[in-house]
Amino acid sequence: MFLLIISTLLSFLSVHTKIITNPVMHWMNRVSKEEKTKLNEIKALQCAQQKLSMVDNFVEYSKIQRKINKLTESLKESKSRNSNDFFLKIGIPYGLRIIIISMLIILCLYYRGSPLFYLESSINLFPFGYFISFPNGRNSVSFHFWVMCCTAFARLIKL
């Protein structure tokens, strides 16, 4: 029973790795306290700048604009230093998928000779019986077939 649950979960996770990777990516790309304070300062300066008339108070307006530009540049620099976006966006989903698929391959090799579960003797799977229970006896479901069915079913489901 344990093997049935593990194989089903791994099959579904191999197709839908975004269930795990999306929260991880969201957590890794969260905004730091420094960036939040800089964003709040930029918003406050922009509000103050909107209250001023550009024609009447050009000096104050341009000083505020220089402060805004300076803050946005420092924000861009901090984001570029902290971001390994390419490696994170590619590495985490595909790395997780490689780990899950390699676990499935190891389980397939280890349990290739043992059936996952048996069907009743009254059930006759005549044309497909050999394929369903390939290395095992009659009326049994092999690990390989179960993983293929679960993976195909998971691809049909859009999460």
Q: pLDDT tens digit string along 103-129?
A: 999 998 898 888 887 778 777 777 777
Would you state the pLDDT for residue 106?
A: 93
Whole-number Å distance between alpha carbons of 148 and 131 = 12
CB count within 10 Å of CB 31 equals: 10
Residue entry with tokens 């899950």: 100
The per-residue pLDDT for 84 is 63
pTM above 0.75, yes or no: no
Secondary structure class of 138 (helix, strand, coil): coil
Distance CA 120, CA 108 (A): 24
pLDDT for the residue 81: 63
Residue 121 DSSP one-character state: T
The C-alpha atoms of residue 18 and residue 13 are separated, in whole angstroms, by 8
Average pLDDT (92-111) is 91
Between residues 87 and 5, the one the model is more confident about: 5
- What's the mean pLDDT in 83-102? 83
Write the pLDDT tens digit of every residue in 24-83.
Answer: 888 877 777 888 888 899 999 999 888 888 878 888 888 999 999 999 998 888 777 665
Residue 151: the pLDDT is 92
Exposed / middle / buried, residue 143 (Cβ in 10 Å: 0-12, 13-18, 19+): buried
Q: For position 82, what pLDDT does the model report?
A: 60
